């Protein structure tokens, strides 16, 4: 029931209780005047029915009026024995007393959200009034959709009033919303049955679409007609794949069929939202299964992958086609969104670089460079952050590079990629090899484990692998007469000597080594 209905009902009962003596025993003109005043008050409330300020004032005054109504009923009922006319009014005053108790109880239930409809289909403005009256800080998250975020004890709680959505002209947002009192109506607009359940400690589970059964069966089923749900919001297609990858659910037959039929509607969804869902999908334990089974849908949002579909690799190092290898490598990579994106794109350049020799063996020379270019284009389109691109692209570029299990090789990679980048590269190469022919690659994987252990020893010792680690710097070279680019050249030469083990990272040893190099002091 709308809060203003309670306002009108409470006001009528309140004023009748207060002025009942005059209604029953006063002159006719007084009765008429009181009746007109009460009727005018009700009309004014009806005129202001949809005004937010009126709704908020109604919220602020209802509890007080309900208590006054209760008090008035009690006082007048107790005074019946002293009033001549009072004996005739026992039914009226008893009714006011009972009604006052009922309204007070109903309002308390509404305030605490324990009634049948929770917030009874309130608008966001009414919701704000409730939170303000309770002294709870809030954030106006999405008032047009009835969503408010309450902040309580440092934690945030998102509250959304029950609503039903209008048509979806843009296939993303409803053209309008209507607030409703029934939770079942609100649940009917949800995407999947497992997301269309509600629970209250008093009334228990509300599950009108069989979401609990689908959850137990690990079945992802649209609420109602799948084509309608996906037409309303095309992002739901990709959300279905993400849920399948993260939860290990299987798409119900009609839901899967509709997803394939309407996959092109994903072009209507913003790149930013696709990117968020894609990263979550890749982090799922069942990412491989989803990537392979629904690759045609994945290809709509990441067309750079399409040439890899069913592209064979006739090579003794490989047992899968290019895309299956990509999916396997995603599964083998650490659960880091950037690293899994590296694996998703690392071999996208292979189809364009594929050659076959006279023995029928396929080769893919230069594919890391092409893969990096394709990844850059895709990530820019998906609105990836600059930090993610700076991390992802070099790893794709060097994923085929060799890291030997010796300190010189490791330090060179540390100089090129830094500590974090080199550790990432080892993880990328390990995932890449794990998705190939393990009969051949297992020794290389074990070698990478040893390389990683040696790298950590180097880091623990604090060995020099960057210019900042050298015992001397540019100021000292400047004092020795070096100028311009010659300073940088001298520092690079000193670092190369330290990495190669030809000089110790000691000031005196470096100066001696520099003198032996006899480098020009100016360029």
Query: pLDDT tens digit string along 88-123?
Result: 555 555 565 555 555 555 554 444 333 333 444 456
pLDDT tens for residues 138-155? Answer: 888 776 667 888 898 889
* pLDDT value at residue 34: 63
Among the listed ranges 99-108, 233-242, 335-344, which one has the minimum average pLDDT value?
Answer: 99-108
C-alpha 473/C-alpha 223 separation (Å) is 67
For residue 460, pLDDT over 50 is answered with yes
Percentage with pLDDT > 70 across the chain: 73
C-alpha 496/C-alpha 508 separation (Å) is 17
* pLDDT value at residue 59: 45
Give 159's strand partners. 148
Q: If you average pLDDT over every residue of the chain, what do you get?
A: 82
DSSP, res 224 = S
pLDDT tens for residues 379-408? Answer: 999 999 999 999 999 999 999 999 999 999
More confident residue, 521 or 185: 521
More confident residue, 228 or 44: 228
C-alpha 98/C-alpha 80 separation (Å) is 17
pLDDT tens for residues 172-194? Answer: 566 556 667 678 888 888 899 99
Which tokens belong to 304? 């750079």
Residue range 312-336: average pLDDT? 96
For residue 11, pLDDT over 80 is answered with no
Which residues contact residue 235 at a Cβ distance below 8 angstroms, ignoring those fewer than 6 apart?
172, 266, 269, 273, 274, 277
Band of pLDDT at residue 283, cut at 50, 70 and 90:
very high
Alpha helices in 166-225 (DSSP H): 183-187, 211-216
* pLDDT value at residue 428: 98
C-alpha 131/C-alpha 321 separation (Å) is 58
Which residues contact residue 467 at a Cβ distance below 8 angstroms, ignoring those fewer than 6 apart?
491, 492, 495
3-state secondary structure string across 117-177: CCCCCCCHHHHHHHHHHCCCEEEEEEHHHCEEEEEECCEEEEEECCEEECCCCCCCCCCCE
Among the listed ranges 127-131, 357-361, 411-415, 451-455, which one has the minimum average pLDDT value?
Answer: 127-131
For residue 22, pLDDT over 50 is answered with yes
More confident residue, 493 or 174: 493
Among the listed ranges 41-55, 343-357, 482-496, which one has the minimum average pLDDT value?
Answer: 41-55
C-alpha 32/C-alpha 38 separation (Å) is 10
C-alpha 173/C-alpha 235 separation (Å) is 11
């Amino acid at each position: 029931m709308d809060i203003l209905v309670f306002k009108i009902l409470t006001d009528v009962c309140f004023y009748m209780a207060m002025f009942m003596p005059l209604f029953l025993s006063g002159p006719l003109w007084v009765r008429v005047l009181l009746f007109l005043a009460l009727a005018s008050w009700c009309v004014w409330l009806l005129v202001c029915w949809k005004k937010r300020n009126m709704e908020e004032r109604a919220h602020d005054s209802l509890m007080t009026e309900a208590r006054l109504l209760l008090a008035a009923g009690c006082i007048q009922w107790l005074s019946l024995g002293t009033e001549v006319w009072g004996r005739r009014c026992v039914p009226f005053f008893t009714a006011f007393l009972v009604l006052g108790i009922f309204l007070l109880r109903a309002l308390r239930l509404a305030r605490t959200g324990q009634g049948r409809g929770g917030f009874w289909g309130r608008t966001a403005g009414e919701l704000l009034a409730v939170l303000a009256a309770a002294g709870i800080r809030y954030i106006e998250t999405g008032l047009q959709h009835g969503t408010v975020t309450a902040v309580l004890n440092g934690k945030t709680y998102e509250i959304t009033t029950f609503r039903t959505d209008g048509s979806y002209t843009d296939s993303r947002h409803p053209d309008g919303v209507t607030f409703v009192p029934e939770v079942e109506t609100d649940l009917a607009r949800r995407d999947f049955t497992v997301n269309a359940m509600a629970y209250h400690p008093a009334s228990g589970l509300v599950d009108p679409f069989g979401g609990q059964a689908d959850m137990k069966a690990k079945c992802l089923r649209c609420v109602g007609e799948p084509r309608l749900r996906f037409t309303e919001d095309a992002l739901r297609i990709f959300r279905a794949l993400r849920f399948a990858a993260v939860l290990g659910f299987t798409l119900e037959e009609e839901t899967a069929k509709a997803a394939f039929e309407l996959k092109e509607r994903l072009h209507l969804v913003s790149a930013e939202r696709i990117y968020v869902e894609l990263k979550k999908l890749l982090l799922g334990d069942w990412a491989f299964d989803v990537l392979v089974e629904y690759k045609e849908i994945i290809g709509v949002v990441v067309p750079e992958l399409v040439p890899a579909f069913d592209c064979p690799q006739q090579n003794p190092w490989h047992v899968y086609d290019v895309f299956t290898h990509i999916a396997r490598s995603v599964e083998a990579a650490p659960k880091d969104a950037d690293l899994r994106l590296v694996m998703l794109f690392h071999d996208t350049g292979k189809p364009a670089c594929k050659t076959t020799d006279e023995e029928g063996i396929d080769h893919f020379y230069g594919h890391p460079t092409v893969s990096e270019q394709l990844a850059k284009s895709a990530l820019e389109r998906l609105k990836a952050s600059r930090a993610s691109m700076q991390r992802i692209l070099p790893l794709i570029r060097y994923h085929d590079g060799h890291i030997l299990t010796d300190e010189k090789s490791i330090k060179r990679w540390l100089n090129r990629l830094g500590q974090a980048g080199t550790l990432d590269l080892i993880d990328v190469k390990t995932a890449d090899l794990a998705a190939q022919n393990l009969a051949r690659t297992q020794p290389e994987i074990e070698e990478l484990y040893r390389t990683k252990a040696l790298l950590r020893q180097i880091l623990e010792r604090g060995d020099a692998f960057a210019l900042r680690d050298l015992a001397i710097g540019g100021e000292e070279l400047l004092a020795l007469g070096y100028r311009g680019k010659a300073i940088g050249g001298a520092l690079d030469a000193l670092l190369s000597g330290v990495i190669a083990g030809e000089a110790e990272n000691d000031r005196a040893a470096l100066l001696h080594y520099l003198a032996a190099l006899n480098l020009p002091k100016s360029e």
